[in-house]
Amino acid sequence: MLELQLLLIFMIIGAIIAVKEKDLLSSVIAVGTVGLGLSLVFLILKAPDLAIVQLVVEILVIIILIRATIRRDLPFSTSGRWFFNTLVTFVFIGVFLVFIYLYIKDLPQFGQPIMKIAQRFIAEGLRETGATNLVSSVILDYRAYDTLGEATILFTAVMGVLAVMRKVGRKK
C-alpha cells in the first residue's frame, strides 16, 4: 500500500504544478503526469482494463491539448476579484469535505469486496456469459445499458463538436 500512497502524493504534486504553472505547455505536461500516475494506480489495484483505457485516453487528450492550446497562450487572470473567488473556493471545499466525511464513514473497508452483486458476477460470470474477461462480461452483458449510455454520450459529444466547429454552411 506504500507505493500507492507515494503515487498519490506524486499525482497531487503534479496537479498543483499544473494549476500553478504559468507556461501552458508545462501545465499540460504536468496534467499528463497526473494521468499516467492514475494509470499506474489502476495497475497496482489489479485493474488492467482501466489502466489500458486510462493510458490510451490520456495520450489522446494530451495530444489534443497540446495541438489545440500551444498557439493560444491564455493568461490567467489573477488580479481582480481574487478574494471573492478564493472565498467561494474554500467554502465549497469545506462543504465537500463535510459531505465526503459523512459518506466515507459508512463505506466498507478498502479492498474488501463484500458486495453481493459482485460476488454473483465472480461466481457465475464465466458460466453465464462464457467470457473469461469478467470486466468485459459485466460491461457488455450484465450492465450493457451503461455501455449504451456511454456510446450515446460519445455520439452526442461528436455531434456537438461538429455543430460548433463546422465549416460547411458557415459564411466566411
List contacts with other proteins (CB under 8 A).
48-49, 51-53, 56-57, 59-60, 63-64, 67-68, 71-72, 126, 129-133, 135-137, 139-141, 144-145, 147-148, 150-151, 154-155, 157-158, 161-162, 165-167
168 CB-side CA count, 13 A: 2
d(CA 157, CA 10): 32
Taking the complex as a whole, how short is the minimal distance between the CB of residue 70 and other proteins, in angstroms? 10
First-residue to last-residue Cα distance in the chain? 58
Q: Which residues contact 113 (CB under 8 A, 6 or more apart)?
A: 119
Distance CA 56, CA 36 (A): 10
Min dist. Cβ of residue 141 to other proteins (A): 5
Which CB atom, from 53 or from 87, has the smaller least distance to other proteins? 53
Q: How far is the CB of 111 from other proteins (least distance, A)?
A: 19
Closer to other proteins by CB, 1 or 163: give it. 163
Q: How far is the CB of 39 from other proteins (least distance, A)?
A: 11
Q: Which is nearer to other proteins, 102 or 168 (CB)?
A: 168
What is d(CA 47, CA 37) in angstroms, rounded to the nearest whole number?
A: 14
Write out the DSSP string of 30-60.
Answer: HHHHHHHHHHHHHHHTT-HHHHHHHHHHHHH
The residue (of 72 and 116) whose beta carbon lies closer to other proteins is 72
State the nearest-atom distance from the C-beta of 150 to other proteins, in Å: 8
User: Considering beta carbons, is residue 8 or 154 the nearer one to other proteins?
Assistant: 154
**Could you tell me which residues come within 8 angstroms of residue 110 by beta carbon, excluding any fewer than 6 positions away?**
none
22 vs 5: CA distance, rounded Å: 28
